[in-house]
Amino acid sequence: MVLMDGWSRYQNYKRAKDQFFEYGFRKRIAANYIISKCQREAAIVAASELGLEEKVSRYYEHCGVKWYHYVPYFMVKDPFFLFRKTFWSRTFLEGNYTPKFNYKKLQLELAS
């Protein structure tokens, strides 16, 4: 289960990085990853690589997210979360996401 969760967060990271790269900081994009600590961290790492970490972090702080919010919000709101399809699909069964951009190539182009 840990591997599947790690896989899902990596897919979140790749998707968030593409979205932030393509559209810049948008509250709607950041809101997609506010559900759990791991998803927020994936979005923050993706944003930090694009110079948007401060904006994303400030947005999460504005939404009331604290450093000690480890338990995903949906677990607190819905005690029957284990029986929901969305829990399994967003937590462990995130599909493979192929990035739209080749960031290594873009970085080399910018450096030269």
pTM: 0.80
- How many structural domains are present in the chain? 1
Q: What is the C-alpha to C-alpha distance for residues 19 and 90, in angstroms, rounded to an integer?
A: 18
Question: What is the C-alpha radius of gyration for the chain, rounded to an integer number of angstroms?
Answer: 15
Contacts by 39-45 with C-beta closer than 8 Å and gap 24+?
A: 39/9, 39/12, 40/65, 41/9, 42/9, 42/10, 42/12, 42/13, 42/16, 43/12, 43/13, 43/16, 45/13
Q: Which of 40, 39, 49 is nearest to 17 (CA)?
A: 49
State which residues form the domain around 96.
2-111
pLDDT digits (tens, 9 = 90+) for 53-105: 999 999 999 999 988 877 766 667 777 777 777 777 777 778 889 999 998 88
The pLDDT score that the predictor gives to residue 110 is: 79
pLDDT digits (tens, 9 = 90+) for 3-36: 888 888 999 999 999 999 999 999 999 999 998 8
Residues contacting 46, CB < 8 A, separation 6+: 13, 14, 16, 17, 20
User: Is the pLDDT score of 45 beyond 70?
Assistant: yes
pLDDT top residue among 1 and 26? 26
The pLDDT score that the predictor gives to residue 74 is: 66
The pLDDT score that the predictor gives to residue 86 is: 75
User: How many CB atoms neighbour CB 29 within 10 A?
Assistant: 22
The pLDDT score that the predictor gives to residue 95 is: 82
Q: Which of 47, 35, 43 is nearest to 12 (CA)?
A: 43
The pLDDT score that the predictor gives to residue 73 is: 67
The pLDDT score that the predictor gives to residue 82 is: 75
